[in-house]
Amino acid sequence: MSENTRIHDLPDEQRPREKMANLGAGALSNEELLAIFLRTGTKGSSAIEIGRQLITKHGSVAALAKLDLHELCKEHGLGLAKACQLQAAFELGSRAVREGSKSTPLKNSQNIYDFLAPQLTHLPTEKLFVLSLDSRLNLIRMRELSSGTTSSTVANIRDVLRPVIIDQAHAFIIAHNHPSGDTTPSTHDQTFTTNLSKAARQMELPLIDHIIIGRPLDGAAPYFSFFEHDRL
């Protein structure tokens, strides 16, 4: 399909909506799914082509989903209305993942990483989160505690434990991302984790793990687990 081809001019079986109706959403490419939300293109570019340009520019749907509304509005072919539609779709997807995780125990580092990676991997700055868990290690609630720079974030122990107590949690997890992709913990990461673990034990609140989310680099694991490395 050329850039100048309008979706209306495509055969029925190639139009995103008709294709979804006949084959299901899984049969559509990422740009075709985006086109359904965009609905219309611009002069010279169809909605499918705009979707393709967005993914090519940002590298993935996950990266595109991390753009805020102001950034989305600046993209070619969008504007406020379409940017709002896309952000609403991304937020619904994120909420669906979080709600689904409430019935899946976060009992090991791989489970935790699988849940957190779609939400944290492409964040441009470091953010710290606390996850309150029930007695079966199901998620009660996930909260963002702090947001920092591209290389650090700051929080204190009281800020972490307060929401866990409010949630009447049985246990909890903390997690933060490294935008560089390198999951190696800093000296501050280790000191903070050690002090938090000690304080939590005194309150009989088990810290299940502290996970650093990064990206696979040169074959390295895309996350670091303080529990797996016996560093809690």
Query: Which pLDDT does position 225 carry in this prediction?
Result: 97
C-alpha–C-alpha distance, residues 203 and 199, integer Å: 7
C-alpha–C-alpha distance, residues 52 and 7, integer Å: 14
Query: Which pLDDT does position 65 carry in this prediction?
Result: 84
Domain that holds residue 55: 7-97
Other residues' Cβ atoms within 10 Å of the Cβ of residue 71: 14
pTM of the model: 0.65
Same domain, 132 and 83: no
Same domain, 74 and 123: no
Same domain, 91 and 125: no
Element (H, E) at 139: strand 139-147
Q: In order along the chain (232 residues), what is the average pLDDT of each group of 10 residues?
A: 59 80 85 87 85 88 83 89 90 75 80 88 88 93 80 77 96 94 92 95 96 83 94 91
Same domain, 83 and 121: no
Query: Which pLDDT does position 151 carry in this prediction?
Result: 53
Domain final residue, candidates 63, 97, 131: 97
C-alpha–C-alpha distance, residues 31 and 143, integer Å: 31
Same domain, 115 and 67: no
Query: Which pLDDT does position 169 carry in this prediction?
Result: 96
Query: Which pLDDT does position 77 carry in this prediction?
Result: 86
Segments of the chain assigned E as strands? 127-133, 139-147, 171-177, 207-213, 223-225
C-alpha–C-alpha distance, residues 4 and 43, integer Å: 8
Query: Which pLDDT does position 14 carry in this prediction?
Result: 77
C-alpha–C-alpha distance, residues 205 and 183, integer Å: 26
Q: Which of 130, 127, 118 is closest to 94 using CA atoms? A: 118
Q: How many domains does the chain have?
A: 2
Same domain, 79 and 123: no
Domain final residue, candidates 97, 125, 160: 97
C-alpha–C-alpha distance, residues 229 and 232, integer Å: 8
Please report how many Cα atoms fall inside a 13 Å half-sphere around the Cα of residue 122, on the Cβ side: 13
Query: Which pLDDT does position 93 carry in this prediction?
Result: 81
